[in-house]
Amino acid sequence: MERNYRSFLPISNVSQYDYSSDDEFRSRVSLELCLPENRDAAMKLLADDDRSSCFRVSVKGYDTSLADDEIKLALLKHFSVLCGGVFDVVVPVTNLVDRCAFVYLLTEDAEKRALALDGSDVGGWKAIVRSSQRQRECLLDPQQADILRAVYYHKQCSTAIWVEGYDICLPEDEVKNALIKHFCSCGVITDLSICRDPLTKTLTSMAFLYFYGQEEVEKALALNGSDVGGWTVVVKPIPGLERGPDPCNLLHI
């Protein structure tokens, strides 16, 4: 398992940390997915997974000077109404003048209906519709892609615990590092959120740690009252709260 996580390093910054155990290493790798660039990579990978099972047609003929969102909306309306079964519309970013968009369809029948729209009018321009071979857009090697899928899935299916007791005057990174080192032995930490006051932006006394699996959650709850380098941690269960909106944000709605 450690070998697989180490292969994930090319798209993470975990190597900059002086981790003390394999448990901590795995948690830090998992938490890397919280970074915007890795979260975006995961979303692109999963979207590509979904599109790979679809039928695809290419569309030309539109005014390439139009905004991509405007082109996408026009194609989405046109193909959804006239052929149905549209999963997604992608307008690739390119400098080519003769560029095309791609419409992804859920069924072969929907693809046939889409191809029949060749030459149809789309708000003043004629659509040139052709069958287009599907291509994987993922640039990661298969092992990295599999790990990214697994980590994202675990993150989305995790359960939160409530943590208090740290000094809110400490830097956020210091608090996070202390929590990771203390709780990583319970299992892989899939997410960590330290709440801030919405007005002052200072740390509050509430943090949330996420674990994948009830056994891991029980181990974390058992650390209630334990010492974390000079302060006593308070750990509470949050019944029914699985991965969803950040609870720090929900507290201020």
Expressed as residue numbers, the domain containing 94 is 55-131
Rg of the Cα atoms in the chain:
24
Q: What's the predicted TM-score (pTM) here?
A: 0.58
**Which DSSP symbol is given to 123?**
S
Average pLDDT over residues 238-253: 53
Given a cut of 90, whether residue 138 has pLDDT beyond it is: no
Res 203: pLDDT: 94
Res 136: pLDDT: 57
Burial 77-93 (b: 16+ CB within 10 A, else e): ebbeeebebbbbbbbee
Give the CATH number of the domain where residue 73 resides.
Answer: 3.30.70.330
Does 37 map to a domain?
Answer: yes
**Of 96, 131, 166, which residue sits at a domain end?**
131
What phi and psi, each to the nearest 5 degrees, are found at residue 247?
-60, -25
Given a cut of 50, whether residue 11 has pLDDT beyond it is: no
Res 135: pLDDT: 62
Does 137 map to a domain?
Answer: no
Res 23: pLDDT: 83
Same domain (yes/no): 40, 82: no
**Of 131, 156, 174, which residue sits at a domain end?**
131
